[in-house]
Amino acid sequence: MSKVPIGCEPVVGSLTPSKKKEYRVTNRLQEGKRPLYAVVFNFIDANYFNVFATVGGNRKDESFYTVSWACNIDGNPLIVAGGVNGILRVIDAGNEKIHKSFVGHGDSINEIRTQALKPSLIVSASKDESVRLWNVHTGICILVFAGAGGHRNEVLSVDFHPSDIYRIASCGMDNTVKIWSMKEFWTYVEKSFTWTDLPSKFPTKYVQFPIFIASVHNNYVDCNRWLGDFILSKSVDNEIVLWEPKMKEQSPGEGTVDVLQKYPVPECDIWFIKFSCDFHYKAAAIGNREGKIFVWDLQSSPPTLIARLSHVQSKLPIRQTAMSFDGSTILSCCEDGTIWRWDVVATS
């Protein structure tokens, strides 16, 4: 297990907004009465950068906790959603019909992410303590990240590395963040695109050991995102932490963590609140359990709070935000089934 070296104190951001940008509410939609758990812009296809999807608990037989954009081999946009039933639903955004359903997880799905470099690959993180890699084009479950070195409780979040196609990071209720490599299993990924037999006959491989395990938090870790080779992770202890994994090439799984910066988020002590970033990872937006949003500059040190957004009618937990491509619009989805839109106010 990695430990934080003594004497490397992280830089903690101030909660005084810099007033660099101001946002105001420009729209609010009521989407049923049940909680909305996720909202996400389509960063996969430049034609649809302003299109977003939301999911929530508005069906009797299913509550969706997570949604991600992907696309077919021919480039058609797909929406992949998962939730309490543990089934991934791939929806064709063009005809609004279910394109495929993937069964494999033994419990609910907490997060789905798409590989931006190969958008027919997605990963799913589940309550069943595993992460699975899928090919949405063929319906194949290629790899399962679980086993001897895997998570020991629900996996709450997962993310693909932005440039290293072999790497993912996952985190969960065992308070750890784990980094996994697919490098030695990549032939299976390639095979998944040309497989002609039934998906159930594919030789799915188990990846049992991560290449790095980090104990950065003392509590549930419910969101992690790569920031280049660094990782931003959020726990239920009212902060997002930016840290660098320092691996030992000789001994996989070991190494140290250099905690660089901390971004405080007051009243953010319930689990399942996820932050989002704009396309270029210049800023991050996160809601809290009182309906406020904190927008942090990710390119500054010490961390700068760009804005703190609040509205008299927004009082309930914001489960997830979505920042637009350039960060000028922030969407938030709330516990009462509302979607809020905030836009940057043009300063003269």
Q: Quick: pLDDT tens for 173-195.
A: 999 999 999 999 999 999 999 99
The answer to whether 210 touches 183, Cβ cutoff 8 Å, is no
**Nearest to residue 338, comparing CAs of 37, 8, 16, 23?**
37
Cα–Cα dist 172/45, whole Å: 29
Cα–Cα dist 103/116, whole Å: 23
Q: Quick: pLDDT tens for 267-290.
A: 999 999 999 999 999 999 999 999
Q: What percentage of the chain carries pLDDT values higher than 90?
A: 88
Q: Quick: pLDDT tens for 93-129.
A: 999 999 999 999 999 999 999 999 999 999 999 999 9
Lookup: tokens for 119:
């958008």
Beta bridge partners of 282: none
Q: Quick: pLDDT tens for 232-275.
A: 999 999 999 999 999 877 776 678 999 999 999 999 999 999 99
Q: What is the pTM of this model?
A: 0.95
Q: Quick: pLDDT tens for 37-52.
A: 999 999 999 999 999 9
Cα–Cα dist 253/152, whole Å: 15
Number of other residues whose CB lies within 10 A of the CB of residue 200: 11
Number of other residues whose CB lies within 10 A of the CB of residue 87: 16
What is the pLDDT averaged over residues 145-163?
A: 97
Lookup: tokens for 93:
């955004």
**Nearest to residue 148, comparing CAs of 250, 246, 253?**
253
Lookup: tokens for 219:
């509590």
Query: How much is the mean pLDDT over the chain?
Result: 94
Cα–Cα dist 96/176, whole Å: 37
